[in-house]
Amino acid sequence: MSATPSDAPTLQWEREGVVSDATGFIRPFRREDIPGVVTLRRHAFRLSEQETPSGLADYLDVVFFGSPWSDPAYPSWVYEDERGAVGGFVGVVPRPMVWRSRPIIAAVATQLMVAPGYKGHISVQLARAFFAGAQDLSIADCANDAAHRIWMAMEGMASPLRRMQWHVRLDRHGPRSHSSPGWGTYVSTLDPAELLPCMIDVLSGYRVAPSYDVRSLSWLLSMAAAKRNLGRLLGGIVRDSEGAAVGWVLYYIGARNRKAEILQMGSIPGARSLLLQHAMWQARSDGARELRGRVDPPFCSALATAQCEFTTTGPWVLLKARDPDLGADLEPDRDGRDSGDDRYIGDGQSDAFLSRLDGEWWLAF
């Protein structure tokens, strides 16, 4: 393709929010671009979970065109160079959420990459195309330093607390600290129909939270369970002494390193320590020697009480809200606001539920 497209395509791409320069242009990602993105990724990144190019192509198709939320209104973006080749890409996965009881759309950015030899401004143009999308909230939770610089230059914000990682050695303490908790029960399950009612009940207590239904949760769990490089996906519901569900946990256990990684956990206020105790006990019962996760602000007190260790070496968690009030609910400490809700006192002052399952961490291309 020539450096300057014909008039008709140019008008169409402009309507779709295309960004162009003298040698190429940025436009929405299409299925027929998948082979070009596969080639690009093999040049941009050394490692891939997918064993073959065809496997990666199938995975790209499923993630970007086969998810329950796939919508042309929230496209991924490619940079097409003067030869018609794909020279840059940023993936976009729309995710429905709820903010103050009304539905919003979040867009998760992933796999921002530019072919070697291209100027750095291509990545900036791709980022601009992403931010110009129709989403209410933009999320990147596995961002490197370069992406962090771009994001901040475009008036995004980082979440320092969510960048923190925690871990606890399950074999360091005596059996008393990690024996089965004295009350309540843990019921192992990955059945969306069993998990969903508990999730809905817990998430209704947040001002900002993901929105699930049986179809979308089934897709998420089946995709997450296929991530063998992360380990075996396990999970369950914690019930109190009266049988009421008070929370749930999803985690991976690696077969070789025997480390368990929290994918997602949530509980009603007042039961977070109990949920963490059950997660530790169950992970140890499943053979894990260590339990790790990303800090979720409401769990800060429970994690500290459990003597978890914290590090700040994780990838950046980056956010950008179209509405300033949404941004304030995502990071209330950023402008001195507090949530006005005693449930969160001492627990990170967060009104937002943003787990690894709700971002790009588990995607693992």
Q: Identify the pLDDT of residue 118.
A: 76
Cα(344)–Cα(60) distance, rounded to whole angstroms?
Answer: 39
Q: Is the pLDDT of residue 348 over 60?
A: no
Residue 23 has pLDDT above 60, yes or no: yes
Give whole-number Cα distances, 23 to 3, 32, 233, in Å.
Answer: 5, 21, 46
pLDDT band at 18 (very low <50, low <70, confident <90, very high): low
What is the DSSP code (8-state) at residue 16? T
d(C-alpha 135, C-alpha 132), whole Å: 8
**pLDDT single digits (tens) 216-255:** 999 999 999 998 888 999 999 999 888 899 999 999 998 7
pLDDT category at 313 given cuts 50, 70, 90 is: confident
Q: Output the pLDDT for position 80.
A: 94
* 3-class DSSP assignment, residue 21: coil
Mean pLDDT computed over 267-285: 93
Q: If pLDDT is split at 50, 70 and 90, which confidence band does 120 have?
A: low
Q: What is the mean pLDDT of residues 259-271?
A: 95
Residue 240 identity (one-letter amino acid)? D
| Residue 332 confidence (pLDDT) | 72
Rounded distance between C-alpha atoms, residue 21 and residue 26, angstroms: 9
Residue 179 — pLDDT band, cuts 50, 70, 90? Answer: very low
pLDDT by residue (tens digit) across 314-332?
899 999 999 999 999 998 7
pLDDT, tens only, 54-82:
999 999 999 999 999 999 999 999 999 98
Given a cut of 70, whether residue 106 has pLDDT beyond it is: yes
Kindly tell me if the per-residue pLDDT of 7 is higher than 50.
Answer: no
Give me the pLDDT at residue 117, please. 78
Q: What is the pTM of this model?
A: 0.86
CA distances for 302 relative to 22, 278, 306, angstroms: 55, 12, 6
Higher pLDDT, 135 or 180: 135
Q: What is the mean pLDDT of the chain?
A: 85
Residue 62 identity (one-letter amino acid):
V
Higher pLDDT, 274 or 331: 274
Query: Cα–Cα distance between 311 and 170 in angstroms, integer?
Result: 18
Average pLDDT rounded to a whole number, residues 102-127? 90
Q: What is the pLDDT of residue 20?
A: 54
Q: What percent of the chain clears pLDDT 90, i.e. is strictly above it?
A: 70
Condensed to tens digits (0 to 9), the pLDDT of residues 26-63 reads 999 999 999 999 999 988 887 777 888 999 999 999 99
Contact between residue 300 and residue 348 where contact means Cβ atoms under 8 Å apart = yes
What pLDDT, on a 0 to 100 scale, did the predictor assign at position 8? 26
| DSSP symbols for 28-93 | E--GGGHHHHHHHHHHH-S--SSSSHHHHHHHHHHHHHSSTT--TTS--EEEE-TTS-EEEEEEEE
Structure tokens at 298: 């409401």
